Amino acid sequence: MPAFAYQALSADGTVKAGTIEAADRSDALRQLARRGLQARSIQSQSHSQSSASSTAQEKKAQPAEPATLALNKADVIRFTEDMGDLLSSGLQVEQALHAMENRSASKLGTLAGQVRELVRNGVPLSSALRQASSAFDELYCNMIAAGENSGALDDIMDRQARHLRLMESVHAKVVGALIYPAFLFATGAALAVIMVTYLLPKLSTLLTGTGKEPPLMIRLSLALSDILRGYWWALAILLALVVMSLVAVHKTPAFQSWWHKLMISLPAIRDITRAHFELQFFETLGSLLRGGVPLLPALELVRRAITNLHLKDALSQAEVLVQEGASLSHAMKKTKALDSQAIDVIRIGEDTGHLATVLGKAATRMDTQLSRVIERATALIQPCLLMVMAVLVGGLVWTMINIVFSTLNQLKH
């Protein structure tokens, strides 16, 4: 009977390794399950007659590759929370997935079924999630792998759920802060179009009976009104071409570099970008370190999660310095990726030997700090937009009033 070498997790989270005799891979998995072990890897130790036949048997034993599911952030957060609750209650990974599969008829039920099938065949949970859906990014899967290696998968799941909730809350705060300014801009633009295309033509009839040349500003306003009313279709096509061109240019590295540099240069936007980066850096790095990921791999994962190219480049330089033996606080200070207060927090964590704990506590404080930064930036952006709208709409109103008074003066003379 063939022999299989295995690594498995017991009920108390310890890793056990050994060999087991079984008819095939599935039989080995069933035997381990009866012993209360959750298989992490199973490899055949039997010698086949040829490597080609062995490869064919392994491919035959492997399940068909599941279809990739499209999941949004809310689905990922819910899956993580449910898995964390089930694992904390004492269930094994396969049992937790089976429970989720039975009680959910949505996409999460399908996801749990596909992941469970992979896990039953000896695929680690982190690899199974990566195969099941692209929504589970490299950072997420590496956190799960760290939990599997340390035997604390339930704690990692709970911590990952809190991290995802925090990042989603930060994103919602930033988007929510931009809703009112965007509403003001859209309302002002719509009002300007209505005044130019409807009200100005109505007032222009007052000038037709005078027989005199209207002022230059009035002539320009009426010409703009005629263009908007007569060639609106051409303007719509031009606007669509401009939008398509901007979308194409936005994907180029040169534009992205310029845009990301602008995001860390503008007074109000810079504060939000910096605060969001510091919160993401502290929360993600602290979560990875608490999960057992070494510092250098954790820095690499954090760098990949950062979207701003200039901040990503600063983290790359810091990663090289740490690899050469420098402390994290010294590397971040030299690359100027963080401000002095954030660097002091890292230095305290390094001096005390509890860097992961210090980063986690600092991230909690930074969440509140980010809320204040967003409130201050919103308080600055809104008056600026109001001034722009006041100048735009006020100029149009003044133009129309000027038309009326000019017409009345011409009629008097």
User: Are 42 and 180 contained in the same domain?
Assistant: no
- pLDDT exceeds 60 at position 363: yes
Fill in the DSSP letter of residue 370: H
pLDDT band per the 50, 70, 90 thresholds, residue 208: low
Is 144 part of any domain? no
Of 32, 61, 90, the residue that ends a domain is 61
Same domain, 107 and 160: no
- Determine, yes or no, domain membership for 67: no
Most confident among 62-66, 165-169, 299-303 (mean pLDDT): 299-303
**Is 380 within the bounds of a domain?**
yes
List the domain range (segments joined by +) for residue 20: 3-61
What single DSSP character describes residue 67?
A: P
* Residues 191 and 300 placed together within one structural domain of the fold: yes
Q: Based on the domain organization, do 114 and 170 belong to the same domain?
A: no
Give whichever of 65-69, 223-227, 296-300, 364-368 has the largest mean pLDDT: 296-300
Number of H helices, E strands in the chain: 18, 3
**CA–CA–CA angle 256, 260, 264 (5° rounding):** 170
Q: Does residue 52 surpass a pLDDT of 50?
A: no
Whether 185 is in a domain gets the answer yes
Work out the percent of the chain whose per-residue pLDDT is above 70. Answer: 77
Q: Tokens 């399908």 — which residue?
A: 110
Mean pLDDT for 117-139 is 83
Q: What percent of the chain has pLDDT over 90?
A: 1
Mean pLDDT along residues 139-168: 75
pLDDT at residue 60 tops 50:
no
In a domain, 51, yes or no: yes
Q: How confident is the model at residue 49 (pLDDT cuts 50, 70, 90)?
A: very low
Same domain for 238 and 93? no
Reported confidence tier of residue 105, pLDDT bands at 50, 70, 90: low
Whether residues 16 and 82 fall in one domain: no
Please indicate, yes or no, whether residues 128 and 163 belong to a single structural domain of this protein.
Answer: no
Instruction: Look at residues 136, 161, 179 and tell me which one is the last residue of a structural domain.
Output: 136
Q: Of 359, 346, 337, which Cα lies nearest the Cα of 274?
A: 337
Does residue 342 sit in the same domain as residue 286?
yes
Q: Looking at the structure, do residues 378 and 257 belong to the same domain, yes or no?
A: yes
Residue 269 sits in the same domain as residue 227 = yes
In a shared domain, residues 19 and 93: no
**Per-residue pLDDT, 45:** 66
User: What is the number of other CB atoms lying within 10 angstroms of the CB of residue 230?
Assistant: 10
> With bands split at pLDDT 50, 70 and 90, how would you rate the model's confidence at 48?
very low
Q: Could you tell me if residue 411 is inside a domain?
A: yes
55, pLDDT greater than 60? no
78 and 171 part of one domain: no
The CATH number assigned to the domain holding 333 equals: 1.20.81.30
Within a domain: 146: no
Domain count for the chain: 3
- Residue 96 vs residue 175, higher pLDDT: 96
Tell me the mean pLDDT in the region 109-122: 84
pLDDT for residue 15: 66
Q: Is residue 210 part of a domain?
A: yes
Pairwise pLDDT comparison (105 vs 390), residue with the higher score: 390
- From 136, 167, 189, the end of a domain falls on 136
